[in-house]
Chains A and B, each alone.
Chain A
Amino acid sequence: MSDLQPRRLAAIPALRFHRPSRVFWLAIMLAALAVLTVLSVAVGTRDVAWHDVFPALAGHVESIEQAAVAVRIPRTLLAVLAGAALAVSGTVMQGVTRNPLAEPGILGVNMGASLAIAIGVAWFGIASTQAFIWTAIAGAWGTAIFVYAIGSLGRGGATPLKLALAGTATNVAFVSLVLAVLLTRNDVAGGMRSWQVGGVGGATNDRTAAILPFLAAGFVVSLLSARKLNSLALGDDVAAGLGERVARTRVVASFGAILLCGATTAACGPIAFVGLVVPHLCRSLFGSDYRWLVPIGAVAGASLLLVADVVGRVVARPSELDVGIVTAFLGAPFFVWIVRRQRIREL
């Protein structure tokens, strides 16, 4: 046992797994998020001077400018929460499937939630926010199981490409199904159309408050799963050898991811690519440790959706682009880049 002497530790300077660069980048990202939050409140289709922003933040609505700012507060709040939720959801899905292309948008899970809501609205007359949320989560679950089952067919199980293809195909099919469902109900189609694109424009604090418990539960489950995802990343056999219950871990972590993206879709509509872009960026800066990737992904995802939302408000003045369109513009080239890298390796 002589090789277990602690004095040997002196020979290994950086064994403590805390790279200074991680803390540095985390500080940068938190600062960026703070700046973006202020920007999101200050910037919009209507120009607002700074001397109107701060009174509005304090709750005053004495001028049109201040009122405009007051409207931007709930949408900023929702963008932060939705971005964080989608990014964490994507991070966890990539960990669960060991698939670099896994993401609630690409896997069709968000669209599954949308389809469930469209069906609920058109045929079952659901209207309350709670009903929206539960319907979306049920739709997300069903779609996740469906896509995973299809992607696992044939030789080699759920390889990254097969799973992504199954998800994309499902996504396309569900988009047309949503349209087909809404066509039968012209009276509700108008209200659903903007929501169907994915946006935070119509945010209200009540709706945000309604999804908050679901997001909180999803974050907690994701955080608690992070260490298990680290083991899963080494392959199922190694994970089992390290004492992990592989199947149970997958189900529990997926549940967290689906709570996050389902509740987000209920409030914002289907927003794709945030869950794809953010984990990849974070991985390149922070390494492959999910205990870091989950919380950092939340910060980065919030920032990304804020940027997308602000950009959407500015580029099409005096109108607005929904945030789902902006993330698609951002994410699609990124998706191509990941696919085109030398090979799609499993995570």
Chain B
Amino acid sequence: MTHHRLFVQDLAAGYGDRNVFAGLDLDVLPAKITAIVGANACGKSTLLRAMSRLLPPRQGQVLLDGKSIHTMPPRKLAQTLGLLPQSPIAPEGITVSDLVGRGRHPHQGVFSRWTRQDDEAVAAALQATNTTDLAERPVDELSGGQRQRIWIAMALAQQTDILLLDEPTTFLDIAHQVEVLDLLVDLNQTRGTTIIMVLHDLNLAARYADHLVAMADGRLHARGTPGDVLTVETVRDVFGLESSIVADPLSGRPLMLPIGRHRIKREEVA
């Protein structure tokens, strides 16, 4: 199976009269999980929005298999590139299966009827997110973690080869954060879905991503494997934070321990 390729070329985007970033290049590794990390307001969400056509580029382009995503028909793009933004809205009273079914939108024409293929995509999405039992429940009644799984199920029902997620773990407790990230790895491993997500938590990003992209002040500061990127220097440059990096005993991936002003045994830091 060949994977679609997403390539960011000399991209500039922003709001009002200000560019959030400019001249940015990024080659997204196909069939891998890429996490974009960085301090607040460093432009990571803006980058994701520009990569998914929510924000028009001021300069440069985003290429999907060599073609600009801004000139291709949006429905065609949506069959290959899925997106889960930060604050989706669940209409009042909508059931889980109904909401997940709306992920089939780009696969349906104005007059086309709901097909067996649509049914199967929805069933598979519910299955993959372990929400089959919730199918007939109203979304309003669900917990935050369940709701996030439903939204991911909707994005899965879209059956795209590439999936962009803007902070999929915000507002979730740690158990649900891990659950959501595990689910994304499942998806990557079983379907080969290319995943690009903005993550707040450096350590979870290092644990779950194959590729880390660290942004600072609208620039790509560092990119590479978590081992290459998550260093004392990067954390200092990107977050302005002193830290110590140890090997996570569970995964072998780097684990960042912040050094604040208090509660630190001095001899450990020196």
Contacts and interface: CB of A to CB of B under 8 A. Distances in A.
A230 interface: yes
A288 B158 CA distance: 20
B88 A283 contact: no
Interface in B92-109: 92-95, 97-99, 101-103, 105-106, 108
Contact of B135 (A12, A238, A283): A12
A234 B89 contact: yes
Given A4-B120, A241-B52, A243-B75, A287 B85 contact: no
Contacts of A238: 83-85, 88-89, 154
Nearest to B87: A235
Interface string B183-205: 00000001100000000000000
Given A287-B95, A288-B92, A288-B94, A237 B54 contact: yes
Interface residues of A, number: 37
Contacts of B82: 241
A230 B126 CA distance: 20
Contacts of B191: 1
Nearest to B166: A237
Contact of B98 (A9, A17, A284): A17
A65 interface: no
A15 B122 contact: yes
B74 A8 contact: no
Interface of A: 1-4, 6, 8-9, 11-12, 14-17, 98, 224, 227, 230-231, 233-235, 237-238, 240-245, 283-284, 287-289, 345-347
Given A3-B190, A242-B158, A243-B78, 4 more contacts: A14-B136, A16-B119, A233-B89, A346-B89
A228 to B, nearest CB: 9
11 contacts: A4-B120, A9-B120, A15-B122, A15-B123, A231-B102, A234-B99, A240-B83, A288-B91, A288-B98, A346-B89, A347-B89
Nearest to A231: B105
Binding site secondary structure of chain B: helix
A227 B108 contact: yes
A1 B120 contact: no
A237 B122 contact: no
B53 interface: yes
A241 B135 contact: no
A241 B78 contact: yes
Contacts of A288: 91-94, 98
Given A233-B91, A234-B90, A242 B106 contact: yes
B91 A240 contact: no
Contacts of A227: 105, 108, 110
Interface in B52-83: 52-54, 73-79, 82-83
Contacts of B127: 3, 8
A19 to B, nearest CB: 9
B75 A12 contact: no
Contacts of A17: 97-98, 101, 114
Given A242-B106, A244-B74, A16 B116 contact: no
Contacts of B119: 9, 15-16
A4 B191 CA distance: 10
Contact of A234 (B88, B97, B126): B88
A4 B126 CA distance: 11
A345 B92 CA distance: 8
Given A227-B108, A242-B78, A287 B94 contact: yes
Nearest to B103: A242
A113 B128 CA distance: 52
Contact of A235 (B88, B108, B126, B190): B88
B132 interface: yes
A54 to B, nearest CB: 40
B98 A14 contact: no
B146 to A, nearest CB: 17
B20 interface: no
B88 to A, nearest CB: 5
A5 to B, nearest CB: 8
Given A11-B132, A288-B93, A243 B123 contact: no
A224 B83 CA distance: 25
B102 A230 contact: yes
The 3 A-B pairs with the shortest beta carbon distances in the complex, nearest first, are A243-B78, A241-B83, A237-B85
